[in-house]
Amino acid sequence: MSANNAPVTLRDYRELARRLVDPPVWDFWEGGAGEESTLAANTEAFDRLRLNPSVLRGVHRPETTVKILGETWDAPVAIAPLALQTMAHPLGEVATVRGTAAAARVPVIVSMMAGRTVEDVAAEADVPLWLQVYCLRDRELTRRVVERAERAGFGTLVLTVDAPHLGRRLRDERNGFRVPASVFPANLYAADPGRDGFTSPAGHAGAEFDPGLDWSVVAWLRSVSRLPILLKGILTAADAERAIGAGADGIVVSNHGGRQLDGVPAGVEVLPEITAAVAGRVPVLLDGGVRRGRDVLAALALGADAVLLGRPVLHGLAVAREEGVARVLTILLEELRDAMTLTGTGTVAGAGPELVRPGAARPSPEPTEIAAPPGTAPLPGTVPMETAPAGTVPPAGSGLWRGDLHSSVSDPVMDTMNFLNEVTSRYPEAISFAPGRPYAGFFETEQIFSQIRAYLDHLAAQGATPEQVRDAVFQYGPSAGRIREIIARSLRADEGIDVPPESIVVTVGCQEAMFLALRALISGPDDVLIVSSPCYVGITGAALLLDVELTAVEEREDGLSCADLEAAVLAERARGRRPRAVYVVPDHSNPSGTTMPLAARHELIDLAARHDLLILEDSPYRLVSPGARVPALKALDRGRRVVHLGSYSKSVFPGARVGFAVADQEVVDSGGRTVLLADELAKIKSMVTVNTSPLSQAAVAGALLAADGRVSELNRETAEYYGDAMRHTLACLERRFAGVPGVRWNSPTGGFFLALHVPFRAGNAALARSAQDFGVIWTPMSYFYPQGGGEHTIRLSTSYLTHEEIEEGVARLAEFIAAERHADERR
Positions marked catalytic: 256
What letters, b where the CB count within 10 A reaches 16 and e where it falls short, cover 112-142?
A: bbbbbbbebbbebbebbbbbbbbbbeeeebb
Whole-Å CA distances, 395 to 364, 387, 401, 409? 24, 12, 10, 22
Q: How far does CA 634 lie from the centroid of its chain?
A: 32
Contact 31, 39 (CB under 8 A): yes
CB atoms within 10 A of CB 513: 28
- CB-based contacts of 362: which residues, under 8 Å, 6+ apart? 47
CA 725 to chain centroid, in Å, comes to: 31
* Start-end of H helices in 659-802: 677-686, 694-706, 711-714, 716-737, 764-769
Phi, psi of 186 (to 5 degrees): -65, -30
What DSSP line would sit under 691-724, residue for residue? S--HHHHHHHHHHHHHTTT-HHHHTHHHHHHHHH
Three-state secondary-structure class, residue 787: coil
What is the bridge-based pairing of β-strands 229-234 and 49-51?
Answer: unpaired
Q: How far is Cα 648 from Cα 712, in angstroms, rounded to an integer?
A: 12
For residues 516, 520, 526, 529, the Cα torsion angle rounded to the nearest 10 degrees is -40
393 class by beta-carbon count within 10 Å (0-12 exposed, 13-18 middle, 19+ buried): exposed
Question: In sequence order, which residues have a C-beta less than 8 Å from that of residue 657 and are 6 or more positions away?
Answer: 508, 509, 649, 692, 693, 696
- Among 781, 773, 760, 19, smallest CA distance to 383 is for 19
Between CA 454 and CA 546 the distance in angstroms is 39
For residues 94 and 121, is the Cβ–Cβ distance under 8 A?
Answer: yes
Considering just the CA atoms, what is the radius of gyration of the chain in Å? 30
CA separation for the pair 684, 483 (Å, rounded): 19
List beta partners, residue 77.
307
- Is the Cβ–Cβ distance between 771 and 430 less than 8 Å? yes
Do 227 and 154 meet the contact criterion of CB atoms below 8 Å apart?
yes
The candidate with the shortest Cα–Cα distance to 313, out of 297, 300, 324, is 324
